[in-house]
Amino acid sequence: MSIWDWLILVMPIAGLYYLLYRTRRYSRTVEDFLVGSRTGGRYLLTAADGMAGVGLISLIREGQRFYHSGWAFEWWGIGTMVVGTLLTLSGFVGYRYRETRVMTLAQLFEMRYSRRFRIAMGFVCYLSGIINFGIFPAVGASFFICFLGLPPTLCGVPTYPLLMVLFLGGACVVTLSGGQVQNMMTDTVQALLLYTMCVVVAVCVLCLFSVSEFEEALCGRPDGMSFINPFDTEGIADYNIWLFLIGLYFCVAWRGAWQGNQGYAASAISPHEAKMGSILGTWRSISLNFFILSFCLGGAAVLFTSSHRGEASALVSHLGSFLPSAVVDQMQMPLALSQMLPIGIKGVFASVLFFLMLSTDTTYIHSWGVILVQDVVLPLYGHPVSERRHLLLLRLSVLFVACFGVVFSLVYRQSEYIGLFQMLTGTIFAASAGCAILGALYCRRATVAGAWTAMVVGAVSALLFVGLLDARVWAWCREVLLSAFPGNATLLAAKEKCPLNGGWLSFISTLLAQVSFVAVSLATYRRPYDLERLLHRGPYADGERQVVVQKSRISPLKRLLFGFDEEFTLRDKLVSVSVSCWVLGWGLFFVVVTVWNVLGYLFPGSGIRMWPERWWFNYLLVFLGLHLVLSPLTAVWLTLGGYRDLRRMFELLRRRQDGAGAERGA
């Protein structure tokens, strides 16, 4: 990188840590550390939570998926987006979760099931989270070693572990200085910077390559291996329609289970602000999705076109000279694009990726550190602790998560795609947690015995499956199985990794957990549970909800399609309708085109014929064009809203601290 690129990379980072230093005084209490004293407005939540959910590892994951399946698999993602947005608009799980006023998910499990179940699920959640987080440092360090062209050692210290320590050390500085308050501040500031940065880099990438290069990279592949036509992908082993159906199933089965950003689930000013923050996430994702798609197209243009064959060949050879094959598979897409970026834009690209990495690391180490203390250590201790000791335990736990990430990254040898590894490691907890959440919030017949059974079945099966994704463990298992089945063709062909990918293994674990939960709950059910008490409704309402009185009754259709409830103002309705129209419009397009192509496949002699590759490529261009227009608009809108909410958060924290000081003085 040039000196200008280094300045563009370093200056925003220095500014961010300066703000961190200036705002450290706003986090003083345990509530500040855990949930930011519940001061998050809708724009702050959608910005900060979005940054936490889209990290550097997410970008590399999408690049790896694009390298193996191209644009074709993204078609099925529309169906997942529609289902997910409808669930968000309806407030499914999220609204009731906030109504319970818990600070962590396992706290809900104690209220609904038992204290012992809370402790057990807290530990399972923690175990699942730190294993899932375990490869984050490895991916971040590997990328920046390749991107910056760093030598194997720096000042006599191996570069790989050194970078992991530096990056996670920087994340610890953020989180240890103020917990969720500082996470919300830094994630929001990063998001406000990235809205614009993502658009700039994406537009630059589209200008670097021609439409014909994109077409050459995606079209003209062998039958069954199309990168553009989702109905011609039967030869693609992992990223196909079956993985889409599994993901669609998990949209409901795992709703609210993933706790990597659990601090944001309880940081909203009110349940309504939490719901609106989730709804705004659709518009927040426009600029990020535009950036990710442009990034993938640029990488594909370098790796799959004749005009860049020399650069692609040299890059793959260079990476293969010092990286394992699984890591080469992860790094080739981002590095293929980065070597084509001009001076200045390369520095912006590096800043985007660093901020994506930092925001995810800070949120994850906070989440898993908090869960261990709140849901395992303190319940086991069984006695109140002072606020000072409580904060010390939280900080030590956060530090341990970071240390575990470094050690796991050094020891674990990856063999699975990043996305499928994340899916399976998340299943360790989500398989049983999904059952327990739906049972806790919506079912009066869910029982403690059913929840315990689901936890044991889901966690044990998923942990065993995670072991199969380690290259050395699978090699040993394969030898054992071949000794019993010496002529098995599947085992003979699966030399590098398990023949069942992480998606199928996740589905099996989740299904086993759900069946056991339902069966045991029905067998042990005695009397209905009082949900009104849990949700602070009816006779247990105490005034937290600030309901706007509506003269007219809201129809069930409006509740489902637009997410309306009694707390919606006119502005809220406009936002919700815009999101619903955008998503449902894509959903209608998805259904019509899918049915058209299915009919064309089933009845080839009719007047309906399947879309040719050219039509699918034209659809890609239209999709890009829409995002090119909307990205700057949504970036400006959400930046202004995020800045307003950030100021309001600090104002609320200042008032509460002044009020607490006045009480102590009195």
Grouping H, G, I as helix, E, B as strand and the rest as coil, residue 651 is: helix
pLDDT given for residue 209 in this prediction: 92
pLDDT given for residue 622 in this prediction: 93
* Portion of the chain with pLDDT greater than 90, in percent: 28
Q: Which of 61-70, 107-116, 413-422, 639-648 has the lowest mean pLDDT?
A: 413-422
Q: What is the pLDDT of residues 483-536, one digit of tens each?
A: 888 888 888 887 777 888 888 999 999 999 999 999 999 999 888 888 888 887
* Portion of the chain with pLDDT greater than 70, in percent: 96
How do the domains of the chain map onto residue ranges?
3-258+266-415+552-665
Where residue 552 falls among pLDDT bands split at 50, 70, 90?
Answer: low
Alpha-carbon gap, residue 618 to 250, rounded angstroms? 31
Q: Which of 264-268, 415-419, 635-639 has the lowest mean pLDDT?
A: 264-268
For 539-560, what is the mean pLDDT?
A: 64
Instruction: Name beta bridge partners: 158.
Output: 153
Q: What is the pLDDT of residues 252-303, one digit of tens each?
A: 898 888 777 777 777 888 878 888 888 888 888 888 889 999 999 999 999 9
Name which of 372, 368, 520, 526 is nearest 457 in CA terms.
520
Where residue 602 falls among pLDDT bands split at 50, 70, 90?
Answer: confident
For 149-172, what is the mean pLDDT?
A: 89
pLDDT given for residue 620 in this prediction: 93
Where residue 543 falls among pLDDT bands split at 50, 70, 90?
Answer: low
Q: Are 619 and 282 in contact (CB under 8 A)?
A: no
**Tokens at residue 560, please?**
């489902």
CATH code: domain 3-258+266-415+552-665 is 1.20.1730
314 Cβ contact partners less than 8 Å away, ≥ 6 residues apart: none
pLDDT given for residue 548 in this prediction: 45
For 39-52, what is the mean pLDDT?
A: 81
pLDDT given for residue 546 in this prediction: 47
**Tokens at residue 385, please?**
């602790």
> In whole numbers, what is the pLDDT of the chain averaged over residues?
86
pLDDT given for residue 617 in this prediction: 94
Angle between helix axes 159-178 and 3-22 (nearest 10 degrees) is 30
Q: Which residue has the tokens 């809201």?
A: 554
pLDDT given for residue 550 in this prediction: 47
pLDDT given for residue 404 in this prediction: 94
Q: Are 586 and 623 in contact (CB under 8 A)?
A: no
Judged against a pLDDT cut of 60, whether residue 442 lies above it is answered with: yes
Instruction: Specify the DSSP element, H or E, that contains 480.
Output: helix 471-484
Q: How long a stretch of residues is the chain?
A: 666
Alpha-carbon gap, residue 119 to 106, rounded angstroms? 7
Q: Which of 16-25, 102-111, 294-303, 572-581 has the lowest mean pLDDT?
A: 102-111
pLDDT given for residue 526 in this prediction: 86
Q: Which residue has the tokens 């450290």?
A: 24
Alpha-carbon gap, residue 473 to 498, rounded angstroms? 10
pLDDT given for residue 660 in this prediction: 60
Q: Which of 261-270, 582-591, 637-646 has the lowest mean pLDDT?
A: 261-270
DSSP assignment of 243-261 equals HHHHHHHHHHHTTTT--TT
Q: Which of 394-408, 461-475, 539-553 has the lowest mean pLDDT?
A: 539-553
DSSP-derived letter for residue 553 is: P
DSSP assignment of 172-241 equals HHHHHHHTHHHHHHHHHHHHHHHHHHHHHHHHHHHHHS-HHHHHHHHSSPPTT--SS-TTS-TT-SSSSH
Higher pLDDT, 124 or 262: 124
| pTM of the predicted model as reported, rounded to 2 decimal places | 0.83
For 73-87, what is the mean pLDDT?
A: 82
pLDDT given for residue 405 in this prediction: 92
Q: Which of 29-43, 87-101, 154-168, 608-622 has the lowest mean pLDDT?
A: 87-101
Q: Which of 103-107, 334-338, 413-417, 605-609 has the lowest mean pLDDT?
A: 103-107
Alpha-carbon gap, residue 517 to 515, rounded angstroms? 5
Q: What is the pLDDT of residues 355-380, one digit of tens each?
A: 889 988 998 899 899 889 988 898 88
Question: How far are the Cα atoms of 89, 99, 552, 556 from residue 568, in angstroms, in the given order?
Answer: 12, 16, 13, 15
Alpha-carbon gap, residue 183 to 189, rounded angstroms? 10
pLDDT given for residue 462 in this prediction: 92
